[in-house]
């Protein structure tokens, strides 16, 4: 069946704002359940042939990401300082095309562990933070993790990690071929008594549901996949939603306001088309899956007489508790060639340091992987305290590129109410809509955990036989691509924005589902959990709709 095209003025069952990791799943599941769904996406729709191996364009010229010229943002370290614009860059980066950031993600697809959902109960409170349990458990989410692996397509080896949480099914396909970085990570980690294992990746290792296996081109992180092997929403959920005949994906449709009536119910959304003409789309219910930056921004911009501080914001927490995931890497040089620029980023990971350990003296946990790191330009631009920056020493470091790898730690960010997405009081985007202002400072424990994993990474690389190891800088974050926590989930309307079913506490027919729903940050690879949450949310939303409870 072909994709649906809704007529102007036609009311749809659901309008979904955003077509990325979460929006794609929600659209697919709701249209499969028999509802009409219109997906409105800010950016254009690209074909596989549109993606290129162009590091300058994708990493520096915003080839598929939000453009600071048209979609500017400001940043400040704390509320006492004036927010500033960065030159040629935004703090919060996401892919602004159909499929959203699932196009340019690295495809690390770790499940959260059981501890991620009840860590506050286990460890106790952390002063000055919003550290809290989730209102759901791992067991409740497990069936949906399995659904992601089988419906979206994840390669991996079940049971390989002794730290893995329980699962009900194996992966649908084996891990991707090991790379030299994986073999070396495994060698070093096993020497130290650790437990490296094959990385679960949302890249297909075998032909899967009409998509070809990965051809190892190496341009995953930050790039779109040119052969459809990466399991992006563009190649998986979106076409399957359209195939129901009940879903339309409308690109270059920029939603800037959620409308409500005098009963406080959402009636639809206002958006600009590609020519900046304004439209109103009526819907029986609205789902925002615009990402952890744009979802709170849209709510804060959707003021009305009834909701003067923004929609669904009676708690005052919309946009608060912004988290990115901290982390830091080391660059290691070996005797022989690794040629890491070939194939996927990661093939082996270590989860021995996943849980927080009070003996370390700070909160935090994380994982370590062996990887390419950036491709040539990003590799050359990385700086570290003793890393050569220019001259013959820099050139020697670049000449060692084929013999080098990155060992990277990925770790927690604590939820702080002072870290936020808010509206800049003066800056507007190219459509005249108030821009995002980011306020962010790392908690000291986040930086301590990043340094801890970096030290473990040095040990692993040395145990693997590295000839030289450089530490990259551990820096305070000024932004990120993991956009988490800004409309947190919870049972108490006073301390959360959505309930455990992703329904906003304040507006009965308004649901939020994306990275903004997170209560805590996890350990660095959020998209798997974003998609599991989306499958679960859609399941419950469909049930509510059938029971006329929306």
Question: Of 112-120, 378-386, 412-420, 528-536, which part binds other proteins (CB under 8 A)?
Answer: 378-386
Counting contacts by CB under 8 A, is residue 546 touching other proteins? no
Angle at CA of residue 406, ends 401 and 408, nearest 5°? 165
Minimum CB distance to other proteins, residue 394 (Å): 7
Considering only 304, 339, 418, 462, the residue that binds other proteins (CB under 8 A) is 339
Counting contacts by CB under 8 A, is residue 184 touching other proteins? yes
Phi, psi of 286 (to 5 degrees): -125, 135
For residue 170, how many other CB atoms are within 10 A of its CB?
Answer: 14
Considering only 86, 163, 362, 501, the residue that binds other proteins (CB under 8 A) is 163
Phi, psi of 76 (to 5 degrees): -145, 150
Counting contacts by CB under 8 A, is residue 182 touching other proteins? yes
Counting contacts by CB under 8 A, is residue 282 touching other proteins? no
For residue 499, how many other CB atoms are within 10 A of its CB?
Answer: 17
User: Closer to other proteins at the Cβ: 60 or 150?
Assistant: 60
Counting contacts by CB under 8 A, is residue 389 touching other proteins? yes
| Interface positions, 392-421, toward other proteins (CB under 8 A) | 392, 394-395, 398-399, 401-402
Q: Find the length of the chain.
A: 550
Question: Residue 527: exposed, middle, or buried by beta-carbon count in 10 A (0-12, 13-18, 19+)?
Answer: buried
E-strand ranges in 166-253 read 197-198, 247-250
User: Closer to other proteins at the Cβ: 230 or 297?
Assistant: 230
Counting contacts by CB under 8 A, is residue 430 touching other proteins? no
Counting contacts by CB under 8 A, is residue 70 touching other proteins? no
Q: Is the sign of the CA dihedral 8, 429, 48, 324 positive or negative? A: negative
Considering only 70, 79, 122, 381, the residue that binds other proteins (CB under 8 A) is 381
- CA-nearest of 509, 510, 500 to 141 is 500
Considering only 140, 215, 357, 473, the residue that binds other proteins (CB under 8 A) is 215
The span from the CA of 550 to the CA of 542, in Å, is 10
The span from the CA of 156 to the CA of 174, in Å, is 5
Sheet holding 327-333, edge to edge: 197-198, 346-350, 366-371, 404-411, 327-333, 468-471
User: Closer to other proteins at the Cβ: 182 or 367?
Assistant: 182
Question: Of 54-62, 102-110, 254-262, 425-433, which part binds other proteins (CB under 8 A)?
Answer: 54-62
Question: Residue 518: exposed, middle, or buried by beta-carbon count in 10 A (0-12, 13-18, 19+)?
Answer: buried
Counting contacts by CB under 8 A, is residue 496 touching other proteins? no
Angle at CA of residue 518, ends 513 and 521, nearest 5°? 145
Counting contacts by CB under 8 A, is residue 341 touching other proteins? yes
CB proximity list for 486: less than 8 A, separation 6 or greater:
292, 293, 295, 296, 318, 319, 320, 321, 322, 420, 421, 515, 516
Counting contacts by CB under 8 A, is residue 195 touching other proteins? yes
Considering only 217, 387, 427, 469, the residue that binds other proteins (CB under 8 A) is 217
Counting contacts by CB under 8 A, is residue 60 touching other proteins? yes
Considering only 44, 88, 124, 425, the residue that binds other proteins (CB under 8 A) is 88
Counting contacts by CB under 8 A, is residue 82 touching other proteins? no
Considering only 10, 52, 476, 549, the residue that binds other proteins (CB under 8 A) is 52
Determine the 3-state secondary structure of 517 from DSSP.
helix
User: Closer to other proteins at the Cβ: 391 or 432?
Assistant: 391
Counting contacts by CB under 8 A, is residue 54 touching other proteins? yes
Which CA distances in Å does 526 have to 123, 323, 483, 521?
A: 22, 11, 9, 8
Which x/- pattern, by CB under 8 A, does the window 448-477 give for other proteins? Answer: ------------------------------
User: Closer to other proteins at the Cβ: 277 or 336?
Assistant: 336
- CA-nearest of 470, 469, 499, 474 to 487 is 499
Asked if 452 contacts 364 with a C-beta cutoff of 8 angstroms, the reply is yes
- Would you tell me which residues interact with other proteins (CB under 8 A)? 48-49, 51-56, 60-61, 87-88, 157, 159-160, 162-163, 175, 177-180, 182-184, 186-187, 193, 195, 197-198, 207, 212-218, 226-229, 334, 336-343, 375-377, 379-381, 389-392, 394-395, 398-399, 401-402
């Amino acid at each position: 069946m072909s994709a649906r095209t809704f007529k102007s003025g036609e009311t749809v069952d659901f309008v979904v704002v955003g077509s990325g990791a979460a929006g794609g799943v929600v659209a697919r599941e709701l249209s499969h359940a028999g509802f009409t769904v219109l997906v409105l996406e800010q950016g254009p729709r690209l074909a596989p042939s549109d993606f290129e191996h162009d590091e300058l364009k994708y990493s520096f010229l915003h080839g598929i990401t939000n453009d600071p010229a048209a979609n500017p943002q400001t940043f400040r370290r704390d509320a006492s300082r004036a927010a500033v614009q960065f030159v040629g860059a935004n703090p919060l980066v996401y892919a602004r095309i159909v499929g959203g950031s699932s196009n340019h993600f690295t495809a690390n697809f770790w499940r959260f562990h059981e501890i991620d959902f009840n860590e506050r109960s286990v460890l106790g409170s952390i002063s000055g933070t919003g550290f809290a349990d989730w209102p759901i458990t791992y067991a409740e989410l497990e069936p949906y993790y399995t659904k992601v692996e089988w419906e979206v397509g994840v390669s991996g080896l079940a049971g390989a990690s002794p730290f893995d949480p329980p699962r009900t099914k194996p992966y649908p396909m084996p891990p991707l071929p090991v790379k030299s970085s994986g073999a070396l990570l495994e060698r070093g980690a096993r020497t130290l008594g650790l437990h490296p294992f094959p990385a679960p990746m949302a890249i297909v290792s075998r032909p899967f549901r009409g998509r070809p296996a990965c051809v190892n081109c190496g341009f995953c992180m930050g790039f779109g996949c040119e052969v459809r092997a990466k399991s992006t929403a563009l190649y998986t959920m979106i076409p399957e939603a359209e195939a129901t005949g009940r879903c339309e994906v409308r690109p270059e449709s920029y939603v800037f306001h959620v409308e409500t009536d005098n009963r406080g119910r959402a009636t639809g959304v206002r958006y600009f088309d590609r020519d900046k003409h304004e439209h109103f789309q009526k819907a029986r219910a609205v789902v925002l899956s615009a990402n952890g930056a744009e979802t709170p921004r849209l709510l804060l911009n959707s003021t009305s007489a009834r909701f003067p501080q923004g929609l669904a914001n009676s708690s005052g927490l919309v946009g608060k508790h912004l988290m990115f995931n901290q982390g830091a890497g080391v660059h290691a040089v070996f005797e022989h060639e690794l040629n890491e620029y070939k194939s996927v980023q990661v093939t082996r990971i270590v989860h021995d340091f996943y849980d927080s350990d009070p003996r370390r003296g700070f909160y935090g946990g994380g994982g370590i992987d062996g990887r390419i790191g950036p491709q040539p330009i990003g590799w050359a631009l990385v700086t570290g305290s003793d890393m050569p920056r220019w001259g013959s020493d820099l050139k020697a470091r670049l000449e060692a590129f084929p013999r080098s790898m990155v060992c990277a730690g990925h770790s927690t960010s604590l939820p702080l109410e002072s870290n936020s997405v808010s509206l800049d009081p003066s800056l507007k985007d190219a459509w005249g809509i108030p821009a995002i202002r980011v306020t962010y400072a790392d908690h000291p424990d986040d930086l301590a955990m990043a340094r801890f994993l970096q030290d473990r990474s040095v040990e692993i690389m040395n145990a693997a036989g590295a000839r030289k190891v450089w530490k990259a800088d551990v820096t305070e974050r000024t932004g990120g691509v993991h956009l988490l926590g800004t409309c947190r989930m919870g049972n108490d309307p006073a301390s959360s924005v959505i309930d455990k079913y992703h329904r906003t506490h304040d507006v009965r027919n308004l649901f939020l589902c994306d990275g903004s729903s997170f209560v805590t940050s996890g350990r660095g690879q959020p998209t798997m959990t974003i998609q599991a949450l989306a499958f679960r949310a859609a399941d419950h939303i469909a049930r509510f709709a059938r029971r006329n409870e929306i």
